[in-house]
Amino acid sequence: MKRTTLAAVLVLVAIFSRTAAGAQASPAPKPSPTPAGADHHDRQPADVFRVKPLSGGVYALYGRGGNIGFFVGPDAVLVVDSQFKDIAPGIVAEIKKVSDKPIKFLLNTHHHGDHVGGNEVFRQFAMIVAHDNVRKRMLASPADILRDYPARVEAAKKAGNEQAVKALSEQIEWAKKVKVEEIPALIMTFDSELRIHIGDETIQVWHLPPAHTDGDSVVYFEKAKVLHMGDDLFHKVIPFIDIAGGGSVKGYLAALDKVVARVPGDAVVIPGHGEVTDVAGIKAFRQYIADLLDAAQKARAAGKSKEDFVKDVDLPAYKDYQGYKDRFKANAGSAYDEAK
């Protein structure tokens, strides 16, 4: 029963991700506390399980949700993020094709459903580790859903989006029934930094200022010089900025600056969404955030209302980014709120 319930909600997260654009077209687009994190993955199922070897035993694994990274050491495998429960067994199978060493650690970069959805599978054999706030937000998700989703159901009804109504309503039902112990939250947490040592590799985990959420961590494989950015980096993809989840547009600038200052210029970078890139990719994404805030600040200085700013704003340089149509206006609204 427990499994069925959780499986159902995670499938719903996937369904919701396809309907979110429609739901957000309604007049009250409010980022959801947890599962809406899934609405920033746009990749089609045909791309599931594409494995890209990087350096020093680190691999990127593209799937349907946030990009996975994994490291193969002499006696253990460490995985970063777990995507969705329904595809987690396939993810494990792909990793097993590369190495038969035991998967001993799973790091979650943040609490969104497309990064922690596979935790229920991984927790059977791996120690799951993440920032304190990831655990808090995962455990709080039923209460958040019960608080926020009824209004979203109404908005989706008004917008005539039946699929969203169904998906949101089923999540409300899940939230009413789920028991805290059924949520596959991590059992080991940290507050600022953590290091894991496997063979001669040191895996550094850094909690960053609030950006995508307030629980964001990035993972740096020191010897391999590979960085997993979680959703602090969307590469050529318009981000979802989870304000309700403690995120911040301005915070993104601070977070990205911290990372760039700490990693070598030739590091290989796995973004949360988009293709593997480099430090220049981080800087390009920072420029998007800076341009957005700049536009919002100018609009405020000119006395423009938030409504008019969101209606009129356009940043043509980023039009080719995936998700521009779906998420740019929401980014702009958040930027206006923070631009002073």
Q: Which residues bind Zn ion (CB under 5 A)?
A: 37, 112, 231
Query: Whole-number minimum distance, CB 81 to Zn ion, in Å?
Result: 10
Which residue matches tokens 């290989």? 268
Which CB sits closer to Zn ion, 116 or 295? 116
Mark residue 26 as left, alpha or beta (left: phi above 0; alpha: psi -120 to 50; beta: remaining): beta
At closest approach, how far in Å is the CB of 259 from Zn ion? Answer: 16
Q: How many CA atoms lie within 13 A of 10 on its CB side?
A: 28
User: What is the three-class DSSP state of 48?
Assistant: coil
The CA R_g of the chain, rounded to the nearest whole Å, is: 19
**CA distances in angstroms from 24 to 32, 79, 307, listed in the order given:** 11, 32, 15
In the complex with Zn ion, which residue's Cβ is closer, 137 or 225? 137
Q: How far is CA 238 from CA 14, 75, 90, 234, 309, in A?
A: 19, 38, 28, 7, 18
The one-letter amino acid code at 55 reads: S
CB closer to Zn ion out of 73 and 171:
171
For Zn ion, give the closer residue by CB, 237 or 295: 237
For the bound state, the minimum distance from the C-beta of residue 108 to Zn ion, rounded and expressed in Å, comes to: 11
Encoded tokens for 294: 């700049």
Query: Residue 88 Cβ, how far from Zn ion at the closest point, in Å?
Result: 17
CB of 280 to Zn ion, least distance (A): 23
Q: Smaller CB distance to Zn ion: residue 64 or 112?
A: 112
Structure tokens that stand for 308 in this block:
């008019």
